[in-house]
Structure 1
């Protein structure tokens, strides 16, 4: 009998064991759950010629920021037996994505899922906060994700936990929060051992200002997620944001020390660095003290993890770290390199990235009027750096605090009104009341 994956697509293996392990390993990978690597490795051992098992392992290496290993493993997949056009295309798309050819990978992934929409590893590539759409430099990547999911919704059962997760998250990020949250709540009922759904649900709750619900979700769910889970530290970061929303700086710092800081988190470098930079920057911008050494510790880790500029989302957070630690020379070099990339058309997100660097430098130097002057004209382009709404809000917070501290009360009130219209926020309400006093 022909082997098939979970979604009914044929698999080029005759091994029942390899096929079963592949289905299990892919489900674990799509859930961001530990043991996916071990299961996919055993699948490859059960049938060393099974190309898609190697391809899935390559994708998992990439998720864990193991770039060299990912490229090596997808090269192995290309050499293995591939019996169907779909599998050959699957491997080709992954080769482009893992080889750093992001624009070509996005175009190829979209073409691939037009023919095989249920090929979820490929459909997942454009989706999420760190997917090909988010890191394409597009300003409207949230809308693009919704449209992609809507286009292929008919290919999936109504209660497919994976599709509900990514469609629900895409909707919530794009402002259709109630519908997105309902999908995510159903998805986590269908598969509780799914860190991607718990993470996406925390985002949906953030989008609606449901802080108590987010705190309860994380407190109930996170203890059952192994500390080795790739999203453990990042989901805890969401709890730290809730604490900050209440004004509980000590609570946020305790979460940071226990679960988010690089010395305790087993997440990916991009999450560890962005979580550290954005949380510590928020603390300081909101008027709380950052304990001595935390900035320097985070910056030292970040410099080793990302020694060269060229990634819009990373560079935006590196700018916060360099500005906060007083590394103006390092930040000047980064800005100059980014300006050159923008001029050469080599940075898809464009001028917003060096602009964030300049604004961060002004803010750290207490030139709040200068910061607002730099950042305000470019504020609409911040989405182009990628990531999620919650992650990017640190840049909007910077502009907002700069406006408040430079006596631009009218502009600050207008920005707060827009934010409060989108979602209730105790912190924003306190700020608005202070401006009215």
Structure 2
């Protein structure tokens, strides 16, 4: 019987289809271009290959193509029910829960599935990363939970380049950047055409203050990564973040123009939304120039792809857009919806969401004291937003700037010092950028 790269049986009689599926797995797990073609080739070679359909459904979901994702996962489920193994049926059922937006049920199913098939990497991937089931669970301890999950399954994977990419990043986000960086560097050495490892390594460098090394890594590596790669724009966004930490807003703006806007339609929508909105917000908040139509372009992009969401991470960026464009109706509607969801117990991230949304609105209106009043009681809950440390820092920067502009300089400096304790070389440059002197 054919097997995937992790030694798990595949219900296909076609060796060529199995090979195409293995290739697609590697490309998808590495966030490398070509996975769609590989999975579609597997389906063409064996139209009854359930897991190939499931993998294609997953990519539809990543790009927020909901109807194609639902149709394709249904096809996969029907095929697996007729001809698949118990592992394949469980794999597809778990992925279906993710596609249907049933995060808590999907997390329960993932853990149950991995207890029986720990090396089912496509399922192991679901709770991991900044946009995974754990990050978007609303849990305050999701960083530690990802680390613990990887620790638990490390023996099953050994020195697997994909697993080590995730394990290293999980360690970094859970407060162990030195250990995380070492594991991630090992992963990168095993497979350089691995955008996931480069991304994880950039997070480690961001946390330990190696901004020049991070910039050099991107410059030396990005030439091999096509702009259609899922993480191309986001990896460049990390360069922009490093530039802002050094007080170089001009370079950050250049990254926006050269790497983010041109790839808007190539990256997954959640990456595009968060990268563009957060970078524009940072530049605007720091009173740096942005392209004349930048906010309008980002607003138009978001309005076509994000209509409703209970994810705090999504709401944060949508409200940045609405606040920056002074769209009062959108601000009121989003805040009302989130307050209603909170009252109904349907907002996993909890009370931080309406506080954060009101704070962003106050900041855009120049109401510095109002912004700090909203954020002060929930600053300890930032992790519940989801995403990564680097992505959540935009809220910290907003808070710091509001403190500075309301005259609370000592408190603002304390917040910045606490955040940059691992990046002392960036502390003074960041302070100068935020204060303008």
> TM-score normalised to the size of structure 2?
0.95
The residue aligned with 2:181 is: 181
1:211 counterpart = 2:175? no
The residue aligned with 1:61 is: 60
How far the C-alpha of 1:410 sits from its partner, in A, is 3.0
Range moving further from structure 2, 289-298 or 35-44: 289-298
Give matches, 1:141-160, under 5 Å: 141-157=142-158, 159-160=159-160
Cα separation, partners in 2 of 1:410 and 1:169, compared to 1, 3 Å: same
The CA distance in 2 between the partners of 1:264 and 1:329, in whole Å, is 26
The CA distance in 2 between the partners of 1:66 and 1:223, in whole Å, is 29
Give matches, 1:78-97, under 5 Å: 78-80=77-79, 81-97=82-98
1:134 counterpart = 2:151? no
1:24 counterpart = 2:62? no
The CA distance in 2 between the partners of 1:270 and 1:415, in whole Å, is 28
How far the C-alpha of 1:413 sits from its partner, in A, is 2.5
The CA distance in 1 between the partners of 2:62 and 2:280, in whole Å, is 25
Could you tell me whether the CA contact under 8 Å between 1:233 and 1:260 is conserved in 2? yes
SS at 2:275 equivalent:
helix
Cα separation, partners in 2 of 1:41 and 1:203, compared to 1, 3 Å: same
How far the C-alpha of 1:14 sits from its partner, in A, is 2.0
How far the C-alpha of 1:360 sits from its partner, in A, is 0.7
The residue aligned with 1:294 is: 294
Range moving further from structure 2, 71-80 or 426-435: 426-435
Superposition CA RMSD, Å: 1.8
Could you tell me whether the CA contact under 8 Å between 1:206 and 1:214 is conserved in 2? yes
Cα separation, partners in 2 of 1:251 and 1:39, compared to 1, 3 Å: same
1:398 counterpart = 2:388? no
Cα separation, partners in 2 of 1:219 and 1:185, compared to 1, 3 Å: same
CA displacement, residues 191-231 of structure 1 (integer Å, 9 cap, x when unaligned): 11111111111111111111001100111111110111111
TM superposition outliers: structure 1 runs of 4+ over 4 Å? 262-265, 427-430, 432-435
The residue aligned with 2:14 is: 15
1:122 counterpart = 2:131? no
CA displacement, residues 285-309 of structure 1 (integer Å, 9 cap, x when unaligned): 2232223221222122212221234
The residue aligned with 2:235 is: 235
SS at 1:4 equivalent:
coil
Could you tell me whether the CA contact under 8 Å between 2:138 and 2:385 is conserved in 1? yes
CA displacement, residues 312-352 of structure 1 (integer Å, 9 cap, x when unaligned): 21111111111111112310111011100111111111121
How far the C-alpha of 1:433 sits from its partner, in A, is 11
The residue aligned with 1:422 is: 422
CA displacement, residues 209-256 of structure 1 (integer Å, 9 cap, x when unaligned): 110011001111111101111111111111111122222222111111
1:348 counterpart = 2:352? no
The CA distance in 2 between the partners of 1:272 and 1:64, in whole Å, is 11
Could you tell me whether the CA contact under 8 Å between 2:319 and 2:360 is conserved in 1? yes
Cα separation, partners in 2 of 1:267 and 1:426, compared to 1, 3 Å: same
How far the C-alpha of 1:432 sits from its partner, in A, is 7.9
Q: How many pairs are equivalent?
A: 434
Cα separation, partners in 2 of 1:114 and 1:250, compared to 1, 3 Å: same
Could you tell me whether the CA contact under 8 Å between 1:309 and 1:334 is conserved in 2? no
The CA distance in 2 between the partners of 1:20 and 1:434, in whole Å, is 52
The residue aligned with 1:322 is: 322
> TM-score normalised to the size of structure 1?
0.95
CA displacement, residues 147-167 of structure 1 (integer Å, 9 cap, x when unaligned): 00001111012x210010000
The residue aligned with 2:197 is: 197
The residue aligned with 1:112 is: 113
Could you tell me whether the CA contact under 8 Å between 1:369 and 1:402 is conserved in 2? yes
